[in-house]
């Protein structure tokens, strides 16, 4: 195995170099300070998104760090609410303005909910932005069921394949069909939720951590790197921001990689949103109670749902105008469902075809 270091990069099919360890900033409420700390720790790759509402803070940290822009690799993402040709071109310019950058290294399509036509229009717009020097691009958020389908959709449309794909990826959710497809098409796979959103109490992981004298997060990140993925751990805690980079003075033996490989639960192991499943949940909810996905989602309560949606217990956190958050109490994991404004019900039906 090639010796890995904190400055290791992978060359993308686009020709660009991407640092193998990325720093996630989802739900980071001190983004500027965390990103500055991450730069001090040695990260050179930051994963943001329009939906995280922290592009400006990432941009500020980049400027305040004094690190030349070209030494950094910065990602953002566009969600389906803004998909479509014109709106994507506008969205790219808006992200550039928020970051105060001349270019973004990686622009992901954050989710597939816009449907085939708008997905491809979004992808074409990102290609144009790339040709204009504004970004490298890819498509993101694919699931075991649909990921290959979305990539095939691009290929069948005669468009250039993306160079990166970002999916939830850790020992419990290894997304093997997508990973195999990406490998076959020279697509680098980024791993989100690589440290299980901090739920690190598994016995196998703990035993391996003890064996190597490491913490569980380091074991998972090392596993991810050794599998050839690009993990994107998030932390807002300065100590953990640093400890999550201490991955390069040990190597997991084959049997320990195999033990972690054996934890795979397929899509049942997913911790984050899984677009296809999430939409199935919404469809189920809608079939059971149309009010659930109407504009009055605020009125939906756990008791209105959980009796009929077993085995999932539904809890709605305060929805904003077009978004609601569903927590599946059965695994205590959050799934984010982005709805489409006044078109929600129609879209829910249409989204059967995502």
Ligand X SMILES: NC(=O)c1ccc[n+]([C@@H]2O[C@H](COP(=O)([O-])OP(=O)(O)OC[C@H]3O[C@@H](n4cnc5c(N)ncnc54)[C@H](OP(=O)(O)O)[C@@H]3O)[C@@H](O)[C@H]2O)c1
Catalytic residues: 52
Task: Indicate the length of the chain as a whole number.
Answer: 354
- Let me know: does 252 contact 222? Beta carbons within 8 Å: yes
Closest approach of Cβ 287 to ligand X, in Å? 26
- Which DSSP category does 22 fall into? -
SS3 256: helix
Specify which residues 316 forms β-bridges with.
Answer: 326
**Can you tell me the distance from the alpha carbon of 233 to that of 216, in angstroms, rounded to the nearest whole number?**
13
Residues 126-145 that bind ligand X (CB under 6 A): 140-141
243 sits near ligand X (criterion: CB under 6 A):
yes
Q: Which two tokens stand for residue 270?
A: 């997913």
223: enclosing H helix or E strand: helix 216-226
CB of residue 316 to ligand X, shortest distance in Å? 20
Encoded one letter per residue, x for contact with ligand X by CB under 6 A and - for no contact, window 244-273 reads x---------------------------x-
Rounded-to-integer distance, Cα 136 and Cα 109, Å: 12
Contact 195, 288 (CB under 8 A): no
Number of residue whose CB is nearest ligand X:
24
Q: Which stretch binds ligand X (CB under 6 A): 122-130, 145-153, 197-205, 346-354?
A: 197-205
The correct pick among 166, 224, 333, 344 for binding ligand X (CB under 6 A) is 166
Judged by beta carbon, residue 236 or residue 283, the one nearer ligand X is 236
3-state secondary structure of 129: helix
47 binds ligand X (CB under 6 A): yes
Q: Tell me the sheet residues that pair with 323.
A: 338
- Shortest distance (Å) from residue 272 CB to ligand X: 5
CB of residue 231 to ligand X, shortest distance in Å:
8
Contact between 26 and ligand X per CB under 6 A: yes
Q: Which is nearer to ligand X, 14 or 272 (CB)?
A: 272
User: Does 275 contact ligand X by CB under 6 A?
Assistant: no
Cβ of residue 296: shortest distance to ligand X, in angstroms?
27
- On whether the CB atoms of residues 164 and 18 are closer than 8 A, the answer is yes
Does 198 engage in binding with ligand X (CB under 6 A)? Answer: yes
Name the residue among 338, 290, 294, 284 with its Cα closest to residue 314.
284
Q: Does 288 bind ligand X (CB under 6 A)?
A: no
Exactly one of 226, 237, 304, 334 binds ligand X (CB under 6 A); that residue is: 237
According to the binding rule CB under 6 A, does residue 30 interact with ligand X?
no
E-only strand ranges, 294-344: 314-317, 323-328, 333-338
Q: How far apart (Å, rounded) are the C-alpha atoms in residues 217 and 224?
A: 11
By CB under 6 A, residue 123 contacts ligand X: no
Question: Residues 24, 84, 162, 319: which binds ligand X (CB under 6 A)?
Answer: 24
Interface segment toward ligand X; rule CB under 6 A; list 23-31, 203-211, 294-302, 326-334: 23-31
| Cβ neighbours of residue 59 closer than 8 Å, sequence gap 6 or more | 98, 99, 100, 101
The reply on whether position 118 binds ligand X by CB under 6 A is: no
| Three-state secondary-structure class, residue 150 | helix
Task: Supply the minimum distance, in Å, between the C-beta of residue 342 and ligand X.
Answer: 24
**CA atoms within 13 A of residue 322's CA, in its CB half-sphere:** 13
Shortest approach of ligand X to residue 288 CB, angstroms? 26
Residue 122 in contact with ligand X, rule: CB under 6 A: no
Distance of CA 202 to the CA centre of its chain: 22
234 near ligand X, rule: CB under 6 A:
yes
Centre a 10 Å sphere on the Cβ of residue 144 and count the other Cβ atoms it contains: 20
Can residue 45 be called a binding residue for ligand X (CB under 6 A)?
no
| Binding positions for ligand X, rule: CB under 6 A | 24-26, 47, 110, 140-141, 166, 192-198, 200, 215, 217, 232-237, 240, 243-244, 272
């Amino acid at each position: 195995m090639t010796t890995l270091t904190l400055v290791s990069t992978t060359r993308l099919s686009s020709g660009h170099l991407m640092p193998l360890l990325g720093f996630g900033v989802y739900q980071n409420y001190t983004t500027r300070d965390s990103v500055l700390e991450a730069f001090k720790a040695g990260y050179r790759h930051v994963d943001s998104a329009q939906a995280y509402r922290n592009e400006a803070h990432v941009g500020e940290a980049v400027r305040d760090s004094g690190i030349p822009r070209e030494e950094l690799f910065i990602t953002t993402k566009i969600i389906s609410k803004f998909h479509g040709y014109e709106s994507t071109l506008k969205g790219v310019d808006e992200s550039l303005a928020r970051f105060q950058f001349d270019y973004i290294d990686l622009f992901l399509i954050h989710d597939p909910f816009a449907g085939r036509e708008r997905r491809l229009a979004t992808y074409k717009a990102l290609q144009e932005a790339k040709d204009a020097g504004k970004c490298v691009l890819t498509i993101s958020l694919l699931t075991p069921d649909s990921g290959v389908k979305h990539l095939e959709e691009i290929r069948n449309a005669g468009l250039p394949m993306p160079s990166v794909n970002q999916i939830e990826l850790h020992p419990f959710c290894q997304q093997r069909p997508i990973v195999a497809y990406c490998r076959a098409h020279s697509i680098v796979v980024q791993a989100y939720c690589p440290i299980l959103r901090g739920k690190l109490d598994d016995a196998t992981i703990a035993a391996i951590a003890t064996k190597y004298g490491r913490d569980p997060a380091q074991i998972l990140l090392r596993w991810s790197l050794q599998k050839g993925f690009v993990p994107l751990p998030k932390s807002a805690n300065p100590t953990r921001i640093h400890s999550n980079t201490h991955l390069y003075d040990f190597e997991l033996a084959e049997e320990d990689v195999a033990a972690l490989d054996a934890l795979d639960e397929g899509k049942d192991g997913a911790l984050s949103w899984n677009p296809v499943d999430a939409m199935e949940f919404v469809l189920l909810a809608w079939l059971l109670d149309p009010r659930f996905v109407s504009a009055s989602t605020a009125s939906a309560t756990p008791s209105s749902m959980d009796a009929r949606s077993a085995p999932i217990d539904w809890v709605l956190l305060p929805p904003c105008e077009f978004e609601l958050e569903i927590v599946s109490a059965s695994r205590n994991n959050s799934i984010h469902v982005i709805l489409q404004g006044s078109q929600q019900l129609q879209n829910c039906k249409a989204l059967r075809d995502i």
